[in-house]
Amino acid sequence: MAKGQGAQLERKKLLADPIMVTTIVVLIAFLTLFILYPLAILLVDSFVSKEEGVTLSIFQRVMGLSNFRRAITNTLKVGFLVGIASALIGLLFAYVEVYVRLRTRALSGLFKVVSMLPVVSPPFVLSLSMIMLFGKAGIITRYLLKIYDNSVYGFWGITIVQTLTFFPVCYMMLKGLLKNIDPSLEEAARDMGASRMKVFLTVTLPLLLPGIGNAFLVTFIESIADFANPMIIGGSYDTLATTIYLQITGAYDKEGAAAMAVILLCITLAMFVVQKYYLEAKSTATLTGKASRARMLITDRSVTVPLSILCGALALFVVLMYVCVPFGALFKTWGYDFHLTFKWFKMVFTRYKGLKAFKDSFVLSLIASPITALLSMIISYLVVKRKFKAKGFIEAVSMLAMAVPGTVLGIGYIRGFSGGVFHTGFLQGLYGTGAILVIVFIVRSLPTGTRSGISALRQIDKSIEESAYDMGADSFKVFMTVTLPLIKDSFLSGLVTSFVRSITAISAIILLVTPSYLLITVQINEFAEKGSYGIACAFATILILITYSAVLIMNLIIRYFGTSRVSSD
């Protein structure tokens, strides 16, 4: 059997469509140059030395550094614990939301806020508030408990903060899965006389186990890749991301940092492969059937009351931590003088070039977000709706970006572009410009956007686009007049998500930003490290306001201009 002719004809049809061909070529070039190449150069840097050629000596050297070995164990320890804790808390919240009748509106409102906060807040806000609540000058430790020398820095600080930051992700993932469990499965078990606990342990939990594993691993990866929290609250407890950062910014050891980055990448990549290609598929495989009927919610007070109180307290605590940030910016001196003042906000703008920082962050993110949203919709379209050779490559590379920690990408860009591509000077002009920051923003948000686009497109009957094609539209027309309008919601939310992700990004950007650009997140990090919490909080408060407004505006736009899902049948 030879499929030669069919493949050849497909190619001919594709080539008859110049816009499509150009798009594919440009996409491949972009993905290769800005995702694959920076990672490749890290490999080259860490395996090839000028004197010895191909060598393992650089790896031997960094593995010989005791602080690096410690960073590996630290990172894995934190990641493991954060993964477990987040998955469990996420499960608790998901279970309560899906299975338990919540008495009060307030509680379900609180749940919504908790699921939303990590979306709109910069990644390290919780570290700030952790320090302000429980640190040396912490309101809770110092004033309520009269402990004067409490240290929040280190293992527990990072673990708690990361858990609180990441558990909402697990909550949302597990909620989706729980909703897909057919209630009759559990009712059947109840019918046969099993207790509620027994049903949970023998029916619900086994069905959910791959999903919990998936949530665990997703959080594990997030924790390992996290830079900002360990930076602010890690103290002397270094993780891989911070160690790599210090290796290049403090010790100026570029080859060493490259080798470390390769090791970090290998860890996240291995986990990502397991998560993406094994657990993710498995977690939904058992739960494909939509719930046939509404579930009988648990109303038994001996169950609902303790669960509600537990979740309510946790949620309230998280909200409190976020609320503490604007107050940090309003008190005269945190921990000592609680008079309200606007002096920190004023100082942000008068002394610390706040306006420029906000303008730079805002403008760069605003440039990046439409490009990201459009790119991710184009990639989704190509991946879901078209057949062509390089499709596997495009899909794989844009997913790969999801597994690359920001720090690794940052080092890759430094090594890959500071001397031009392959140190030849080609594209050298890019380094240090706003353009490269925009590109990093795009690369960092592309996987999320693509994933949302893909799932939106999978719900659209493929024959709708085929019919447009059949009536004489070329690929470009089909995309513009059919595909894009049908996934408008996904496009709009991609627009905002990428904007928010960009304006709150730090891990890669902090390595690449030059003094000509002031970015808010970098400023916050700097002031937090210096201990100027008032200024850091003022910056963070304004940043949260910006991101929150962006999300609000998006919701309004979707409500008035979006297509509420148009079904095809």
Partner 1 sequence: MSNEKKGVRLEHISKIYQDPKTRKEFYAVKDTNLEIEPGTFVTLMGPSGCGKTTTLRMIAGFESPDEGEIYLGEEPINALPPNKRDTAMVFQSYALLPHYNVFDNVAYGLKLRKLSKVEIRAKVENILKLVQLEGMEERMTNQLSGGQQQRVALARALVMEPGVLLFDEPLSNLDAKLRVEMRTEIRRIQQKVGITAIYVTHDQSEAMSLSDKIIIMSNGKVEQIGTPREIYYHPKSRFVADFIGEANFLKAKVIGKEGSKAVIRIDGREMAVNNYADAKQGDEASLVLRPEAVTLAESGQLPCKVTLSTFMGSYQYYQAEAGGTTVQITDYNPVNKRIFEAEQKAYLQFDPDGVYIL
Does residue 569 belong to the site contacting partner 1 (CB under 8 A)? yes
Residue for token digits 């570290």?
Answer: 127
Closer to partner 1 at the Cβ: 49 or 463? Answer: 463
Q: Which residue from 363, 461, 480, 530 is in contact with partner 1, where contact means CB under 8 A?
A: 461
| Cβ within 8 Å of residue 325, ≥6 positions away | 125, 128, 129, 537, 540, 541, 544
- What does 392-440 look like in DSSP terms, one character per residue? HHHHHHHHHHHHS-HHHHHHHHHHHHTT-BTTTTBTGGGTTSHHHHHHH
Closer to partner 1 at the Cβ: 185 or 468? Answer: 468
To the nearest whole angstrom, how small is the minimum distance from the Cβ of residue 561 to partner 1?
A: 12
Q: How many residues bind partner 1 (CB under 8 A)?
A: 35
Does residue 476 belong to the site contacting partner 1 (CB under 8 A)? no
Per CB under 8 A, the segment of 139-147, 229-237, 331-339, 459-467 that binds partner 1 is 459-467
Query: Three-state DSSP class for 357?
Result: helix
Does residue 187 belong to the site contacting partner 1 (CB under 8 A)? no
Closest CA to 396 of 17, 13, 39: 39
Does residue 302 belong to the site contacting partner 1 (CB under 8 A)? no
| Cβ within 8 Å of residue 416, ≥6 positions away | 37, 38, 41
To the nearest whole angstrom, how small is the minimum distance from the Cβ of residue 288 to partner 1?
A: 17
Closest CA to 328 of 122, 161, 534: 534
**Residue 266 CB neighbour total at 10 angstroms:** 11
* 66-99 helix and 301-330 helix, angle to the nearest 10 degrees: 130
Closer to partner 1 at the Cβ: 4 or 515? Answer: 4
- Which token pair is 354? 């706040």
Closer to partner 1 at the Cβ: 218 or 460? Answer: 460
Determine the Cα–Cα distance for residues 237 and 268; give it in Å rounded to an integer: 20
Closer to partner 1 at the Cβ: 249 or 481? Answer: 481
Q: Which residue from 70, 295, 423, 477 is in contact with partner 1, where contact means CB under 8 A?
A: 477
Closer to partner 1 at the Cβ: 10 or 395? Answer: 10
Does residue 285 belong to the site contacting partner 1 (CB under 8 A)? no
Closer to partner 1 at the Cβ: 21 or 65? Answer: 21
Does residue 560 belong to the site contacting partner 1 (CB under 8 A)? no
| Cβ within 8 Å of residue 319, ≥6 positions away | 110, 113, 114, 117
List binders of partner 1 among 11-30 (CB under 8 A): 12-13, 16-17
Per CB under 8 A, the segment of 4-12, 39-47, 264-272, 506-514 that binds partner 1 is 4-12
- Identity of the residue numbered 264: L
Burial call 119-157: b when 16+ CB within 10 Å, e when fewer:
bbbbbbbbbbbbbbbbbbbbbebbeeeeeeeeebbeebb
To the nearest whole angstrom, how small is the minimum distance from the Cβ of residue 4 to partner 1?
A: 7
Does residue 559 belong to the site contacting partner 1 (CB under 8 A)? no
Does residue 395 belong to the site contacting partner 1 (CB under 8 A)? no
Q: Which residue from 468, 555, 558, 562 is in contact with partner 1, where contact means CB under 8 A?
A: 468
Does residue 3 belong to the site contacting partner 1 (CB under 8 A)? yes
List binders of partner 1 among 310-369 (CB under 8 A): none
Determine the Cα–Cα distance for residues 179 and 182; give it in Å rounded to an integer: 8
To the nearest whole angstrom, how small is the minimum distance from the Cβ of residue 283 to partner 1?
A: 21
Closer to partner 1 at the Cβ: 187 or 474? Answer: 474
Does residue 566 belong to the site contacting partner 1 (CB under 8 A)? yes
Does residue 190 belong to the site contacting partner 1 (CB under 8 A)? no
Does residue 564 belong to the site contacting partner 1 (CB under 8 A)? no
Does residue 4 belong to the site contacting partner 1 (CB under 8 A)? yes
Query: Three-state DSSP class for 133?
Result: helix
Determine the Cα–Cα distance for residues 70 and 243; give it in Å rounded to an integer: 10
Q: Which helix (H) or strand (E) holds 338?
A: strand 337-340
Interface with partner 1 (CB under 8 A) = 1-7, 9-10, 12-13, 16-17, 461, 463-464, 466-474, 477, 481-482, 485-486, 563, 566-569
